[in-house]
A and B are shown apart, each in its own frame.
Chain A
Amino acid sequence: MSESKQARHQGVSNNNKDIFSFKASNMQFFRADGMKEATGYGEPKDWYFVAIKELLDNNIDWLRDNYRGSEHARVDGSFTISKDYSQLTCRLRNSNPENKPVKAFTLLPNILNYNMTFGSKQNEYRATRGQLGDGLKRLIGLPFILQNLGDDQSAFFKKQWDTPMYFRANGIERQVTVKVNLGASQAFNQIVESSQRLNHTDTEVEISFPIIEEVRSYVSALAIERHVRLNTIATTDISFNIKVIDEYAQAQGYKGLAVIDQEAKHPIPKNLHNSTSILIYHPVEFVNRIESVFDRENTSVYEVIRKFEEGAQMPKSEFDKLLKVGDTNKLSIAEFMKRPDYQDKMLELYNLLLNTSNRNPDKISLPFPLKDRHKHLAERIYAMYPPKYLEQNPDNIYYTIQYGTTTQIPIFNFAFEMLAIPLNIDSIREDPSNKQSEFHGLVNSSHAALGTRFDGRYFWTKKNGYAHQEEDIVGCLSQFGFVFSAYYRNSKMKIPCVFLGNLISQRVDYTEKSKAKMDASPFLPTILKAVRKLAS
């Protein structure tokens, strides 16, 4: 067996091992200003949707990491507004038929440590949706923030939220409640493991939030349904059955129930974000990736290196030689960091991986096949709108996918898919004056609370030679003749459409922690290309 093959086989189990990393943090998880800073959203009404997205992201990412190739991965759940409109209970459950260990739940004391960030996806660039760790803390802190909104500057002891957050996995239920003492900058978790075993092996998270007075008109069953639909619309490898129940409406005699029922269209791709390339990392990020490993004593340097594409393909002996040790797999990160030549060797390691990297990587591997993609997306978009609101003929679905890559480090691949479905032509002919286009923006198939418009400086030269500039994708679409205004239109403009734009990228740099707002600059030319393609 060749050395590189041996390297691939050595420590296979190590490669699957989640490496948890950390960084210092504080009590911001329990303060409104912390929530504003972390999410980028200033209004409490949006925080509910951040929470819903976080819950869905975690389910989907976990299934994609653990059930590649599976055709039967599914997420079931419910979002229930209580009879008195005072509470929203979110329960999401993903399948785990092989009872694979859900490590994050056994490490809850670490994950819910408010003094540091702890997660398996920290400092790692993959085309995933969420970031386990801080997200859960924000979730568990949110009820406390909402309950004490407008009163978190003065008192030390606040109203506590007593409804536990439930974590159910591998047949075990854990209940977590948190007692917060803001004055003392302390938060105590009470984690109780139920002695009764569950009759299923699925993974389930259940959390309740108070619905405060000021958000009641926004946090509605309709808005929740729309947000869940947008968050699952482009995820076609997992089945969803999620109910949005409005007990308040039911008490008034209305139906109060919406079911988001979407069957998977294909299996979860087998080669989905296996590992990342060193090219995606700036040197400082590479150092962070190694130094921020939580369990430095028991994690070897080789275990981290193997997480990189280049590290997995090179024979281990190369690293043994560079680090001058018999077995890099036995050299712990703690030990390595104590060595006098640590900094030099880190740089050499980075350069070694960089030199073996493929600077002209292939296209990004997509989490979906392109065959019938437009039909799958359209089917789900139709479900979001009233019957006959959109053109139903498959010939009137317009789809394009454009690929891109950055040219300087960080070098990574990405793709931007775009779908347009015109509004029903007969309905436009009946009344063309007040209909306009809508745009839904997704990043790695995930929808932020207020969506994204891929803000940035779009620049192009028109056919008449004049340069043109726009600030977001909606501006670009408008310039290419699509109607986004209720006031101005002419016969040469294109009829209103519902657009869906989905950026699939190995690396997305967000401008705040909840992944709601992003730096779209590397993607702008590719996004513009997709707009042009749809408009031409």
Chain B
Amino acid sequence: MTKKIPTYGSIGVKFSGHSEKYLVSSSRPKATTTYIVDVVKEMLMPRINIVRSGGKYTGGMHSQDNLWYNALPLFNKRGVEYDNDSRAGFKTCIRNLCKEYNVGREQIGLYASPWGAMYFRGQWHDISFDTIKELAEKGTDIIFIEKRDVVQSLGKYASKWGIALVNTHGHLSKYTEDLAELAKITGANIALLTDYDIPGILIASKLPENVPRLGIDESTLDYFKINDKEDTTMVIPYIPKVSRIDAKVFFNMVQKDKRFRDKVDTDFLHKRKIEIDAVIAKVGEKKFWKYLQKLLGEKFPNRNYLRVIEPRPDLSKHYPLIIKQAQLFVESHSKNITEDESKKIEKQLKQVKGFIEVKKKEKEILDDRLGKILDEDETLSDLAESVEAIDKEYGFGIADIEIPEEEEDDDDDEEEEEEEAGGSEK
């Protein structure tokens, strides 16, 4: 159910203080017939239908905010009441619609903001629909942490041991949940680190019980001997605007889940909280990381380092010197002989009237202009002939090696086909 039951106001009835005195607008407002959700449907259903019938949406990509602005003329046309506060509801409608028809937002041309990021070996990677599969293969272990600064400060220690850290921005988004699930399937050890507060426990409770929560809890505080609940430099009041969970339900949930039982003081959490940052500030990053690593080791004695270490690395570093020099010679010579032509190209590209079709131009530069110089160069021809002669004499079989064909860019091809099918704009 996505529509709202109308109010008196929205059907044009205004009461003036007393319910017996009322004013009815001359015409029934259109808002009662068309809602934001109807416009969302109008805009997205054609895309959803393409995906659901097995096709691929190939139209333009928009952010949700972009779509909102595209929707405004339709709101006016259909008489939908809205203001800027309606934008959140608009996005909820998009989410619900995607959920209802089981399609990803990216599948129907909507970028969702990357709600989560992974830190692995010194680099940040946004978690999105397109990256989940690739990121799920990183790290022997993946620790999901609700704070970005905590990920940043522990990242360098984690990277040393091939462990990836994911910043969840609080509650796990759908993509982060998908990442956790896929990583687990592909052999990563998954764990979670959240603040010692009710939301932190609730975040953990959304993941299966076999996903360990590394802290913060009473065991963390006991381990570091910082269990002074009156220490105001660490313990801060917890005053939610809206109560997250009924006290009894929370207590029962904690008792039921072995990750929380005996480690979480529910009475304490109803009024106070301890953030991860506070503990790190007390004990230091290094000590805190060692504690996490110790826990991870206990929870998961084994790990798959093939996820981090490549057993067949690039060996070019150890090629004989003359081979490496030969390679460098070819690169340097090629650059020298094409330099004049490259300068001409540079000058031409700098001042272009109108537009150039990039891919075609690139091909022309590489094959017809610079490549042609290399093909006709005598030094390179001599070098090649000499190597061929050595190969022939010593029977190395260099000439027998097949050069793999370069892969074509799929997207560009599709674009070309589309253009051909739909007619050129030229």
Q: Does A426 contact B (CB under 8 A)?
A: yes
CB of A92 within 8 A of chain B? no
Q: How far is the CA of A536 from the CA of B9 in the complex (A)?
A: 16
Contact A535 B5 (CB under 8 A): yes
Instruction: Report the minimum CB–CB distance from A524 to chain B (whole Å).
Output: 11
Given contacts A395-B3, A461-B243, contact A491 B24 (CB under 8 A): no
Interchain CB contact (< 8 A) of B6 among A425, A465, A487, A534: A425
Chain A nearest Cβ from B10, distance in angstroms: 8
Chain B contacts of A494 at CB under 8 A?
A: 5-8
Given contacts A429-B13, A489-B15, A533-B1, contact A407 B28 (CB under 8 A): no
Contact B8 A490 (CB under 8 A): yes
Enumerate chain A residues within 8 angstroms of B256, measured Cβ to Cβ: 407
A212 at the B interface (CB under 8 A)? no
Judged by a CB distance under 8 angstroms, whether A492 is at the interface is: yes
With A429-B13, A432-B13 known to touch, is A422 a contact of B1 (CB < 8 Å)? no
Residue from B8, B28, B246 within 8 A of A491 (CB atoms): B8
A interface, size bucket:
35 or more
Chain B residues with Cβ under 8 A from A490's Cβ? Answer: 8, 15, 19
Q: How far is the CB of A401 from chain B (nearest CB, A)?
A: 10
Interface residue tally on B, bucketed by range: 20 to 34
CB pair B14–A491 under 8 Å, yes or no, is yes
CB pair B11–A420 under 8 Å, yes or no, is: no
Q: Is B86 an interface residue (CB 8 A)?
A: no
- The answer to whether the Cβ of A322 comes within 8 Å of any Cβ in the partner chain is no
Interface status of B228 (Cβ within 8 A of chain A): no
Judging by beta carbons under 8 Å apart, are B252 and A407 in contact? yes
Residue from A395, A420, A487, A491 in contact with B7 in the complex, judged by beta carbons closer than 8 Å: A491
| 1-59 of chain B: CB within 8 A of chain A | 1, 3-9, 11-15, 19-20, 22, 24, 28, 32
Which of A395, A425, A481, A525 has the most chain B CB atoms closer than 10 A to its own CB? A425
Q: Give chain B nearest CB distance to A505 CB in angstroms.
A: 19
- Bound together, the chains give a CA A536 to CA B2 distance in angstroms of 9
**Does A463 interact with chain B (Cβ within 8 Å)?**
yes
Q: Contact at A489–B5, with CB atoms within 8 Å?
A: no
Instruction: Provide the bound-state CA to CA distance between A536 and B1, in Å.
Output: 10
* List of B residues within 8 angstroms of A408 by Cβ: 252
Inter-chain contact A422/B19, CB cutoff 8 Å: no
**Contact partners of B252 in chain A: CB under 8 A:** 407-408
- Which residues 490-536 of A sit at the B interface, judged by CB distance below 8 A? 490-495, 497, 525, 533-536
Question: Which of chain A's residues have a CB closer than 8 A to the CB of B14?
Answer: 491
The docked-state distance in angstroms from the alpha carbon of A400 to that of B8 is 22
Q: With A429-B24, A432-B24 as given contacts, are A534 and B5 in contact (CB-CB < 8 Å)?
A: yes
The answer to whether B11 touches A495, judged by C-beta atoms less than 8 angstroms apart, is yes
CB-based nearest A residue for B22: A432
User: Does residue B360 face the partner (Cβ distance < 8 Å to A)?
Assistant: no
Of A398, A491, A535, the residue contacting B13 (CB under 8 A) is A491
How many Å from the CB of A54 to the closest CB on chain B? 35
Contacts of B242 in A (CB 8 A): 461, 463, 465
Given that A465-B241, A489-B19 are known contacts, is A426 also in contact with B28, CB under 8 Å in the complex?
Answer: yes
Q: How far is the CA of A252 from the CA of B19 in the complex (A)?
A: 41
Q: Which residues of A contact B19 (CB under 8 A)?
A: 433, 487-490
Q: Which of B95-154 contact A (CB under 8 A)?
A: none
Q: Mark B151-163, 1 if CB is under 8 A from A, else 0.
A: 0000000000000
* Nearest-Cβ distance from residue B30 to partner chain A, whole angstroms: 12
Convert A96-117 into 0s and 1s, putting 1 for each residue whose CB lies closer than 8 angstroms to a CB of B: 0000000000000000000000
* Complex CA–CA separation, A51 to B249 (angstroms): 40
Chosen A-B contacts, 7 in total, with CB atoms closer than 8 Å, are A398-B1, A400-B1, A408-B252, A429-B13, A494-B5, A495-B5, A525-B246
**Which residues of A are interface residues toward B (Cβ below 8 A)?**
395, 398-400, 407-408, 420, 422, 425-426, 428-429, 432-433, 459, 461, 463, 465, 481-482, 487-495, 497, 525, 533-536
Known: A429-B11, A494-B6, A535-B5. 4 other contacts (CB 8 A): A425-B28, A425-B32, A428-B8, A488-B19
